[in-house]
Structure 1
């Protein structure tokens, strides 16, 4: 399954859950908006941070969403490589496996290879 398909499937699942627990979804949406409304850091930097955490926490769906957002924010594959290196340094072997997923997601979701 492509990362585009994985992201679409996750969005569908989230829509169903959001209908089941609308107040939680609304609260999380407000938190996400507040975190992304950067005061000092730009959106690209915030997405790099989020991606590093997604790798360290081993959240495949988060990786897909943050790689997609990072590409839209103007990130490059070379910059991604630096972030992947730090994520591996901080998280060891498990992060290495999820860093590989993030790189595959980048290649799948962007034209830059």
Structure 2
């Protein structure tokens, strides 16, 4: 499994933003609004985003949202339970992508 380079992803997103600034500004505002505290906490929303990232097989999403989950105070046990739900919803392919989340956790010392 190749480790994703989030710094390169962010750099490339910045390049996209230079070409289509209104789209990327709107996307960033959507992201901030969607994951902020509300009826669900920011932590809960990041856990949901991680589960979706696993289910749709997005390696960058998995790495980014594991880190965001940890920053929001999620525990390893909470993240592992999210991976279980993602596997339920996504089957075998989701199980394979869940291993990427485990690797990010281990790289973070969790």
Work out the CA distance in 1 between the residues paired with 2:105 and 2:8. 17
CA shift digits 1:62-84 (9 cap, x unpaired):
11110111110111111111111
CA shift digits 1:53-110 (9 cap, x unpaired):
00011111111110111110111111111111111011001100111111111211x2
- Give, in angstroms, the shift of residue 33 of structure 1: 1.4
Instruction: Give aligned pairs, total.
Output: 109
- Find the counterpart in structure 2 of residue 82 from structure 1: 81
Give 3-state SS (helix, strand or coil) of 1:38's partner. Answer: coil
Structure 1 unaligned blocks of 5 or more: none
Q: Which has the higher contact order (CA 8 A, sep 6+)?
A: 1
Alignment of 1:41-56 (within 5 A): 41-56=40-55
- Find the counterpart in structure 1 of residue 13 from structure 2: 14
Give the TM-score of the pair, scaled to structure 1: 0.90
Task: List 4+ stretches of structure 1 deviating above 6 A.
Answer: none
Alignment of 1:61-72 (within 5 A): 61-72=60-71
Structure 2 unaligned blocks of 5 or more: none
Give the TM-score of the pair, scaled to structure 2: 0.92
